[in-house]
Structure formats: structure tokens, C-alpha cells
Chain A
């Protein structure tokens, strides 16, 4: 926390408490009903609260490297994040693709207006004079960027940028944790579905075999043929057999009908 203390005119104990709460909230992603956009709003709210900035925005990168999921602390900043996607230029875009912090830069500078002609004009029209972008990065992976805006040129100070990066780092770890947990929950579901499916198929083989006095293998051929002919999943058909809701033709139609494959 050294170096963050002098950032704003706020009583030190209150400030410490708010900092602690911000980091805690950004780590707390393993909750029911986690929603990324809501979480990014929490990030931008804390950034605006704790840093001397006028507005903050976030752009995320998807698995294919496209910029998506824009959010911001104000409508004006939100439009500027959208504009970076539309124009394919701007500090967040560069930060995501170049994997490095951008700025702080003065939007009136010639070099800045040459670098992002349309973005710089839109940002100045929205009343902003300075901009910076910080990566949401864990080691080599950049999952997005945090944009900081100020209405006064030169007002984005190093101490603010350091705290902004610390908040971005905390948010990144939170998001990656949540993604990992989500992936694992999905795979647990797949494993359980796979096992349930296997068992349902065996149960249906036994049921149909007993019903038609044929071997389990012959029953399986018939189940597969029926599922194929009716364009339904074999597992679903087998579940219906066990639930007693399967099409009665499965149990009565001539065997030949099931051998159309």
C-alpha cells in the first residue's frame, strides 16, 4: 500500500477502510449469480471513488482476441469505450493488444491526435483532457484494459496509476478465479451426465430386452435405430424407457423397422 496514501484528500482511516473493502470485493467472485458486467461496474466504481479521476471504463478481450463487454462509470465514458471498438483505435484497444499500460497522455497533444484521430476528438468533445489505460493482466495473459479519464491535462498522477493497476490486478485475479471455477463446474456436470447416460442406456437395454425377449445387444440396436429414425438422442430415449414414457412403437413394431440403419 506504500505510495497510495497521498492520492486523495480523505481521512487516512476512512481511506484505508475503503481500500480494504475495494480489494475484498474484487477478490470475492466465487458467489452465486456472478455477472461479469456487474463486477466490472464494481471495479470502475471503486476506481472513481479511490483515485483522482473523472471517469473510468473497461474493455474486455474474448478468447478470440476481440474486444467485448464494455462498461464504464459514466454514460460519456461508456460511449468512448464503445467508440474504441467501433473506430478500432484508442488507449484501451492499444493496451489490450500491446499488453502494456498506455499513457497518461494529454488528448490535445499533436502525437495523440495523430495516433487516435477519431477517439481523441470524441474524448475531447466529451470534456476529457487526459487519458491512460492499464492492462487487466496476469503474467502473459491480458484479459482487458481499464481506462482512466480526467478533465484536466496532466492530472493523472503516478500514484493514482499505481493504485489503479493494483485494483486492476485484483479484479483480474477475481475474474480468472471465477472463470476457472465455472469451467470446473461445467466439467463436473459433463462427467455426471456421461455417467447417468451410460446407466440409463444399460437400464433401457435390459428393459427392452426383457420386453421383447431379445438380448441386451439386440435391444441396443433397436434403441439406436429408433432414436436415429426419430432424430432424438439415444440417452433421452433410454431415459424415457426407464420413466415409462417412451413411444409404444418401440415395444410393438416389427423388429425389422428398427434395423433401417
Chain B
């Protein structure tokens, strides 16, 4: 057994025994065990994918997730929608029409290989495990096997009482501020909440800004997103 797979097995076993929810499964160590540069888990919500498990130091991975959230397209979105794994050995050679908004934007980020595996229970889709690497190349069979095991373990951990507790308030939500901004914009512009979120996404896209920065403007700088940055 390759050392990496062995490391991951040990990590999963320790997490299963601890009953500590997602906290027992450190994203950075799992990424290292899989020979990847970053790993993240997002849960499917009415408005998109909610990032719930990630390494706060993994700026490139978080940026990729937020880009997909802003644009509503990408490997993770596809895996969540279809329930099938999406493997992209090199983002730079994918034809633009596959993800027309994401691909040009992603070229500014140090991400080349991406894979997204659905977290599912039977036919119920819960979310996606996304992995990324700064160098292009396919996943080996051993990496894929380990990644599938990790996706399964993450699903089971999320469904334990500690996992539900994590999501219900135990862990901070990466996109809290975006939801607060949607609420604020709903009041200021007198529009439904879904439209408020759509405007935040559209503004971030058209002004080429990080969606969390846009949300911060709305919540803390009273921006109405009416075209002129504060």
C-alpha cells in the first residue's frame, strides 16, 4: 500500500473514533495524504454550494470555490448537479465553452488540476468533495480510490450528531457575510432574497471582484451595488 493511502486510512480511522465531527478531519493533512494542494467540502443548499470544510490557509482553493459560487458553474457545481465525479487534469486545455465564465477567471489562480466527487447517500446528493493541484496531470488510480474513500467518510461524518451540530452552528460558515449581505440588500432595494444574492454574484462577476469583498461593502459600507464602488 502506498504511504499516502496508509496516511489517509489512519486519518479516517482517527476521525471515525473521535466522534468530533469535521474538526477531527484536518483538510490540509488529508490533502497531503492524497498528494494534492488543497481539499474542500461544500454542501448543497437552495442557493448553491455552501463551503463547510476547508483549510483557512488554502487561499487558492477557497478562491476557486468562491469563483464557482459566484458564477454558478464549474467542476464542483457539475458534480453536485449530476451526482457523477468530474475530473479535470488540466484546466488550461479545457475548451472555454464548457465553463465560459469560470475558465478565463480561473487562469488567474494557481490551479491546474481539479477533481470533484459527489457526497451522496444512495440517490440523495448532499454535497461535493473538491480537490485541486497547482500542477496539471491525471489522478492515479490509488489517488482516486483514496479520494472516494474520503468522500464517503466525509458523508458519514456529516451525518453523525457531531456533523449535524457542526453545520448547525459548531463551525463558522465561510459565506456567512454573503448571506448577511443578501439580507441587507433585500431590505435596501426591496427585492426578494434570491434576487439580492443574484445581484451580489453579478456585481462580483462584472467588476471582477471577490464575492466576499463585495458582501463586506454591502454589510459594512452601506453599498447598494448601484454601480459605483464606495
A and B associate: yes
Residues of A within 8 A of B (CB): 181, 184-185, 187-188, 190-191, 194-199, 202-211, 216, 241-242
Contact of A196 with B46 in the complex, beta carbons under 8 Å:
yes
Contact A206 to B167, CB < 8 A, known contacts A188-B126, A195-B43, A198-B173: no
Name the residue on B nearest A238 (C-beta). Answer: B183
B202 contacts partner chain A, Cβ-Cβ < 8 Å: no
Name the residue on B nearest A204 (C-beta). Answer: B183
For the complex, what is the distance from the CA of A190 to the CA of B162, rounded to whole Å? Answer: 12
For the complex, what is the distance from the CA of A25 to the CA of B146, rounded to whole Å? Answer: 37
Query: Which of A194, A204, A205 is in CB contact (< 8 Å) with B167?
Result: A194
Residues in A with CB closer than 8 Å to B2 are none
For the complex, what is the distance from the CA of A203 to the CA of B163, rounded to whole Å? Answer: 23
Count of chain B residues with Cβ under 8 Å from any Cβ of A?
Answer: 35
Residues in B with CB closer than 8 Å to A191 are 43, 126, 158-159, 163-164, 167
Residues of B within 8 A of A (CB): 43, 45-47, 50, 52, 121-122, 124, 126, 158-160, 163-165, 167-169, 173, 176-177, 179-188, 193, 218-219
Residues in B with CB closer than 8 Å to A204 are 183
Residue of B47, B167, B181 with highest tally of chain A CB at under 10 A: B167
The binding surface of chain B is classed by DSSP as helix
Residues in B with CB closer than 8 Å to A190 are 164
Contact of B164 with A194 in the complex, beta carbons under 8 Å:
yes
Contact of B176 with A202 in the complex, beta carbons under 8 Å:
yes
Query: Which of B45, B52, B159, B218 is in CB contact (< 8 Å) with A184?
Result: B159
Can you list 5 residue pairs at the A/B interface with Cβ under 8 Å? A194-B165, A197-B168, A203-B193, A206-B182, A211-B187
Contact of B184 with A206 in the complex, beta carbons under 8 Å:
yes
Query: Which of B126, B169, B182 is in CB contact (< 8 Å) with A203?
Result: B182
Q: Chain A nearest CB: distance from B67 CB in Å?
A: 20
Name the residue on B nearest A211 (C-beta). Answer: B187
Name the residue on B nearest A202 (C-beta). Answer: B179
Contact of A203 with B179 in the complex, beta carbons under 8 Å:
yes
Name the residue on A nearest B183 (C-beta). Answer: A206
Residues in A with CB closer than 8 Å to B187 are 206-207, 210-211
Query: Which of B50, B124, B158 is in CB contact (< 8 Å) with A199?
Result: B50
Name the residue on A nearest B125 (C-beta). Answer: A188
Q: Chain B nearest CB: distance from A247 CB in Å?
A: 16
For the complex, what is the distance from the CA of A164 to the CA of B14, rounded to whole Å? Answer: 43
Name the residue on B nearest A183 (C-beta). Answer: B159
Contact of B43 with A188 in the complex, beta carbons under 8 Å:
no
Contact of A198 with B183 in the complex, beta carbons under 8 Å:
no
